[in-house]
A and B are shown apart, each in its own frame.
Chain A
Amino acid sequence: MRWEGRAWVFGDDVDTDQIIPGRYLRRVSYDELGRYAMTGADPEFPEKVREGDIIVAGRNFGCGSSREQAVMALQQAGVACVVARSFARIFYRNALNRGLPTIEARGDPTEVVEDRERVVVDLDELVLRTGSGEVPLREPPEFALRAWREGGLLELAREDPERPPWR
Chain B
Amino acid sequence: MASVAERILSEKCGERVEAGDVVAIEPDVIMLHDGSGATALRTLRELGTERVRRPEKVVLIFDHSVPPSSVEAANRQNELLEFARRHGIERVHVDEGICHQILVEEGYAQPGRVVFGGDSHTPTVGAVSALGFGFGGTDMAFTLLYGELWIRVPRTIRVHVTGELEAGVTAKDLALTIVGELGAGYADYAVLEYTGLPERLPTGDRMCLCNLATEAGAKSAYVPPKDGPEDLRPGDADEVVEVDASEVEPVVSVPDAVDDVRPVGDVQGTEITRVFVGSCTNGRYRDVRAFTEALDALGGPDSDVRVVVVPASRRVLLKLTRDGTLERLLELDVTVAPPGCGPCLGEHMGVLGDDDVCVSTANRNFPGRMGSTEADIYLASPLTAAVAAALGELADPREELPDSVLERVG
Contacts and interface: CB of A to CB of B under 8 A. Distances in A.
Contact of B46 (A21, A59, A158): A158
B22 interface: yes
A105 to B, nearest CB: 14
A98 B185 contact: no
A97 interface: yes
Contact of A12 (B134, B146, B185, B367): B185
Given A17-B366, A66-B134, A154 B120 contact: no
A3 to B, nearest CB: 23
B185 A143 contact: no
A161 interface: yes
A158 B185 CA distance: 33
Interface residues of A, number: 35
A63 B258 CA distance: 12
A9 B24 CA distance: 34
A97 B189 CA distance: 18
A110 interface: no
Contacts of A17: 366-368
A153 to B, nearest CB: 7
Nearest to B218: A89
B14 to A, nearest CB: 15
Contact of B24 (A86, A98, A164): A164
Given A60-B188, A90-B135, A143-B22, A164 B142 contact: yes
A98 B138 contact: yes
A65 B184 contact: no
Contacts of A23: 368, 373
Contacts of B368: 17, 21-23
Contacts of A22: 368, 373
A2 B229 CA distance: 50
Given A17-B367, A157-B145, A60 B217 contact: yes
A12 B139 CA distance: 26
A158 B47 contact: yes
B137 interface: yes
A89 B185 contact: no
Most chain B CB neighbours (cut-off 10 Å) among A68, A89, A90, A93: A89
B76 to A, nearest CB: 13
B100 interface: no
Contacts of A143: 22, 150
Interface in B343-379: 366-368, 373
A58 B217 CA distance: 15
Interface in A149-167: 153-154, 157-158, 161, 164-167
Interface string B110-145: 000000000110000000000000111111001001
B219 interface: yes
B45 to A, nearest CB: 11
A166 B43 CA distance: 17
A157 B136 contact: no
A161 B47 contact: yes
A165 B22 CA distance: 13
Given A143-B22, A153-B142, 11 more contacts: A59-B185, A60-B185, A63-B184, A63-B185, A66-B135, A87-B188, A88-B185, A89-B217, A94-B139, A97-B139, A161-B49
20 contacts: A12-B185, A21-B368, A22-B373, A59-B185, A60-B188, A60-B217, A63-B217, A64-B366, A66-B134, A68-B138, A88-B185, A88-B188, A89-B188, A89-B219, A90-B134, A97-B136, A141-B22, A154-B43, A154-B46, A157-B142
